A and B are shown apart, each in its own frame.
Chain A
Amino acid sequence: MPKSKSAYSVAGKKGKLDTHIIVVWVDNEAGVLARVVGLFSGRGYNIESLAVAEVDSKLNISRVTIVTTGSPEVIDQIKLQLKKLVPVHKVASFKREDKKVIFKEMALFKFVSNSKKMKLAVKACKKFNPVLLDETNKSCVVQVTALRREIDKMAVNFKKYGLKSISRTGAVAMTRGSDVL
């Protein structure tokens, strides 16, 4: 091992990286998203997806769902830091493989091709609650709700049906059964 010239210690073992979903309830005010996101970017962590909207207009509370990859130590640290933020009310998190939690993403696909291909496309979406939102004789817009990896797959496979544009949301999450977060 080459001799270290740094006055800092050398990096120790890194924890295993896992995908985590972090749910945060925040006051819906200017700058709050920047505060939340800053804790990730400040540690050099990328956010895979982010979904945020007001869920309680009376109390002015928004629910943020963040999907990110990190070692358990860093995720724990980010969660504790999130709890310290003044506009944050509550923080929850789980791993993607958690069976007790439902994750869903929505995507809008725009196909530009002929009616035959478009029909095939809508059919191929069948498993994912397709809704035909717009239709002309050479284009259509289809809405699907599915898991991230399913949408990833569709995005690749649907090229052949004339898929020209995709718009998708980040994941939102909800626990199964009567448990409330």
Chain B
Amino acid sequence: MPKLFTGAEIVFKCLEDQDVEYIFGYPGGAVLPIYDELKNFQSIKHILVRHEQGAGHAAEGYARSSGKPGVVLVTSGPGATNAVTALTDAYMDSVPLVCISGQVPTHLIGTDAFQECDTTGITRPCTKHNWLVKDIKDLQKVIHKAFEVATTGRPGPVLVDIPKDIQFQKTKYTSFKKINKKLNGNSHNYFNQKDINQLIDLMKKSKRPIFYTGGGVINSGPKASELLRDLVRSTGFPITSTLQGLGCFPGDDDQFLGMLGMHGTYEANNAMHDCDLMINIGARFDDRITGKIDEFSPKSKKVHIDIDPSSINKNVKVDLPIVGDVKQVISSIIKNIKKTKPNFANSNKQNISKWWLQIDKWRQKKSLNYINSDTSIKPQYAVQRLYELTKGKDTYITTEVGQHQMWAAQHYKFDKPNRWMTSGGLGTMGYGLPAAVGVQVAHPNKLVIDIAGEASVLMTMQEMSTAVQYSLPIKIFILNNEYMGMVRQWQELLHDKNYSESYTAALPDFVKLAEAYGCVGIRAKTPDELDDKIIEMLNTDRPVIFDCLVDKQENCFPMIPSGKPHNQMILGPEDEKDNKITGKGKALV
């Protein structure tokens, strides 16, 4: 007679077989049998968070920085509903998460039992798939399938809801061998040689080409970023990246035009608008990128490389869709270029030289410039100094959501993938701190900094306690302007300066707060002391809350105002002074 295992044991056996090292969770009535087994599985370490949303974001940070799926364990009812924000966040940003939730015993489902909720019903629209396990015999199969769904194709979150009685019941467990199917394997490739030939043909003919790359490159693995660099160099084309794609191409490279979109650079957005060939690699034509759809890049042929067929033609009609894993598509393109035109970059130089001249003209605008100050710390300056003082250290950056996030994206230059974790699709304030916890768990010896705003960080501040518990030396770098900065900016520019409820009249003393949590608090008030304070933060090997008091009125520029195409950007205050904003733009300022 084979050995029988309880449902709770099977959960851990599955996690073991999936090589899970860390789970982020919070115990409660309906998952206690699973928590009971934790001590018997030494290879799996549990990180106790302070709120289930924190568990979800920490698992996201873990997943995005390591390329492995993040695992979350929560209880029924409020445990599951608290995790919903993180699941939705992971769904929007294509982060592989496996969330295991407890549920009330099977016979009580649907009776409004204590801490009961319709977890699979609530999470249906924010997961790739979810399961309610009603038979112990299905449990093993379901959990392994959950990992498969979360990590293949376009990655995303899944949820397995396990009633408490199922956790107690016993059945056999047959050891699971991970089929060595490569992540995002061939089953997701629907392109053929003809598509590649057509693309190369377009590339040869193009006089104004641009690569527009996104998070899909990073999700395709580090190799994809290497191949992308190879491709960009072997073509000589300019490249721009979405918020999520930062890091897949070196931020300080000459061919890199910076981020595009609502707060992207002048050169990137104008190049997108005027190009004749747009090659989208692993991005999804998000509305923050396209601006007004009807006037989005009107003169270009558009190529879209994406693993998800439903991304094609969703927002923007494209001329050549290539459905497949970014890594394999790029590798195929490179092979073909090397075969047919080994010296493409040089022979094509002439073809696109005018284009580069035009791009250089746009670059002259220096759209990320700002007016610095001797007396107050400009937030952009703070990010720049942070970058300069950390750039040799293989730093991992997370952010919250708002102005600070955009300044971080604009002024912090990444040169490797998986170093930049930010909530782009859902725009979840409070993402960065728990994400930093997860990143630090995955990379215990690396420098992890959450570039934060004071409003966002207060939403999940309790996770500082988690960082202290596990000695995770994360650095919370708060650009403190006492406002919900992006809200304030929109109110200033679009709502006649009616600053309705965007000022936080009572804030905690972040230095004392840090001490209360048992970590280190540092405050910088003037530009003169900023460098010393940052160095002090970097030299502290404990968690730090850095309260950087910045200019309260600063706005994030450049900006594409509402309903405008890419070539009608508002530039910064310097530009305003020179009266370069024409009638239309001014109406909006």
Given A9, A12, A76, A83, which contacts B562 in the complex, CB threshold below 8 Å? A9
Chain B residue with minimal CB distance to A73?
B313
Q: Are B313 and A30 in contact, CB atoms less than 8 angstroms apart?
A: no
From A6, A13, A35, A80, B310 is in contact (CB under 8 Å) with A80
| Residue contact A5 to B287, C-beta cutoff 8 Å | no
Q: Is A34 an interface residue (CB 8 A)?
A: yes
The reply to whether B125 and A5 form a contact with Cβ atoms under 8 Å apart is no
Q: Does A16 make an interface contact (CB < 8 A)?
A: no
A42 touches B125 (CB 8 A): yes
Chain B residues 93-141 with CB under 8 Å of chain A are: 120-121, 124-125, 128-129, 132, 134
A85 contacts B by Cβ under 8 Å = yes
Q: Which of B67-75, B290-298, B428-436 is found at the contact surface with chain A?
A: B290-298
> Which one, A3, A4, A13, contacts B294 given CB within 8 A?
A13
CB distance from B354 to the nearest CB of A (A): 31
Which residues of chain B are within 8 angstroms of A83 by Cβ–Cβ distance? 309-310
User: How does the 8 Å CB contact mask read for B252-277 relative to A, with 1 for contact and 0 for none?
Assistant: 00000000001000000000000000
CA distance A86 to B291 in the complex (A): 33
Binary contact track A77-108/B, C-beta < 8 Å → 1, others 0: 10011011110000000000000000000000
Q: With A38-B124, A38-B125 in contact, do A12 and B495 touch (Cβ < 8 Å)?
A: no
B294: chain A residues at CB < 8 Å are 12-13
Contacting pair A85 B563 (CB below 8 A):
no
B495 contacts across to A, CB distance below 8 A: 5
In the complex, the answer to whether B562 meets A6 with C-beta atoms within 8 Å is yes
- Complex contact B124–A31 (CB within 8 A): yes
Determine whether B229 belongs to the interface, using a CB cutoff of 8 Å to chain A. Answer: no
**For A80, what are the chain B residues with a Cβ–Cβ distance below 8 Å?**
309-310, 312
Q: Known A38-B125, A81-B310, A83-B309; judge A8-B588 contact (CB<8 A).
A: no
Whole-angstrom distance between the alpha carbons of A137 and B159 in the complex? Answer: 58
Whether the pair A84, B291 counts as a contact (CB closer than 8 A) is no
| Residue B5, interface by CB 8 Å | no
A77 touches B494 (CB 8 A): no
Q: With A31-B124, A85-B129, A86-B129 known to touch, is A10 a contact of B310 (CB < 8 Å)?
A: no
Shortest CB distance B291–A (Å): 6
C-alpha gap A18/B587 in the complex (Å)? 39
| Nearest chain B CB to A163 CB, angstrom units | 38
A7 CB-CB contact with B under 8 Å:
yes
Residue of B nearest to A85 (CB): B129
B210 proximity list for chain A (CB < 8 A): none
Q: Are A7 and B562 in contact (CB under 8 A)?
A: yes
Say how far A10's CB is from chain B's closest CB, in angstroms.
Answer: 4
Let me know if B314 is at the binding interface, CB within 8 A.
Answer: yes
Contact status A8-B287, CB under 8 Å: yes
Contact partners of B562 in chain A: CB under 8 A: 4-10
Q: Is the CB of A5 within 8 A of B494?
A: yes
With A4-B562, A73-B313, A81-B310 as given contacts, are A9 and B121 in contact (CB-CB < 8 Å)?
no
Nearest chain-B residue to A80 (Cβ)? B310
A18-48 residues with Cβ-Cβ distance < 8 A to B are 30-31, 34-35, 38, 42
Q: How far is the CA of A14 from the CA of B292 in the complex (A)?
A: 14
Closest to A13 in B: B294
With a cutoff of 8 Å between Cβ atoms, the chain B residues found around residue A12 in the complex are: 292-294
Known: A30-B132, A77-B314, A84-B310. A7 touches B292 (CB 8 A): no
For residue B149, CB closer than 8 A to chain A, the reply is: yes
B157 to chain A minimum Cβ distance, whole angstroms, is 13
A11 to B213: give the CA distance in the assembly, Å: 25
Q: Is B490 an interface residue (CB 8 A)?
A: yes
Q: Which one of B125, B309, B588 lies within 8 Å of A3 (CB-CB)?
A: B588
Q: Give the most central of B262, B291, B294: most A CB within 10 Å.
A: B294
Closest Cβ neighbor of B313 among chain A residues? A76
Interface residues in B373-422 (C-beta closer than 8 Å to A)? none
Interface string of B490-504 (1 = CB under 8 A from A): 100011000000000
Q: Which residues of B contact A9 (CB under 8 A)?
A: 287, 290-293, 562-563
Cβ of B86 to closest chain A Cβ, rounded Å: 19
Neighbour of A10 across the interface among B134, B494, B563, CB < 8 A? B563
| Cα separation A28 to B125 with both chains bound (whole Å) | 19
A4–B563 CB distance below 8 A = yes
> Quick one: which of B277-291 are within 8 Å of A by CB?
287, 290-291
Among residues of A, the one whose C-beta sits closest to the C-beta of B565 is A9
**Chain A residues whose C-beta falls within 8 Å of the C-beta of B128 in the assembled complex:** 84, 86
Query: How many Å from the CB of B298 to the closest CB on chain A?
Result: 13
Bound: A80/B312 CA distance, A:
9
Closest to A34 in B: B124
Closest to A10 in B: B563
Q: How far is the CA of A34 from the CA of B129 in the complex (A)?
A: 12
On chain A, the residues within 8 Å of B121 by CB distance are: 31, 34
Nearest chain A CB to B448 CB, angstrom units = 31
The docked-state distance in angstroms from the alpha carbon of A171 to that of B562 is 43
Chain B residues, CB < 8 A from A85 = 129
Residue of B nearest to A42 (CB): B125
Residues of B within 8 A of A73 (CB): 313
Complex: A86 Cα to B128 Cα, angstroms: 8
Bound Cα distance A137, B221 (Å): 76
Contacts of A86 in B (CB 8 A): 128-129, 149
Q: What's the minimum C-beta distance from B585 to chain A, rounded to whole angstroms? A: 12
* B309 A7 Cβ-Cβ under 8 A: no
Which of A38, A81, A84, A85 has most B Cβ within 10 Å?
A84
For the complex, what is the distance from the CA of A84 to the CA of B134, rounded to whole Å?
24
Contact residues of B between 299 and 317, Cβ < 8 Å to A: 308-310, 312-314
CA–CA, A12 to B124, complex, Å?
A: 30
Q: Which residue of B lies closest to A78 (CB)?
A: B310
Quick one: closest A residue to B587, CB to CB? A3
Chain B contacts of A84 at CB under 8 A? 128, 153, 308-310
In the assembled complex, how far is the CB of residue A39 from the closest CB belonging to chain B, in whole angstroms?
Answer: 9
In A113-140, which residues have CB < 8 Å from any B CB?
Answer: none
- With the chains together, A107 CA to B292 CA distance in Å? 47
How far is it, in angstroms, between the C-alpha of A5 and the C-alpha of B498 when the chains are bound? Answer: 12
CB-based contact A7/B490 at 8 Å: yes
Smallest Cβ distance from A40 to chain B, in angstroms? 12
A-B contact pairs, 14 of them (CB 8 A): A4-B494, A4-B562, A8-B562, A31-B120, A31-B121, A34-B124, A35-B124, A38-B124, A76-B313, A77-B310, A77-B313, A80-B309, A84-B153, A85-B129
Q: Given known contacts A6-B494, A30-B132, A31-B132, what 12 new A-B pairs fall within 8 Å (CB)?
A: A4-B494, A10-B292, A12-B292, A13-B294, A31-B124, A34-B124, A38-B125, A77-B313, A80-B310, A84-B128, A85-B129, A86-B149
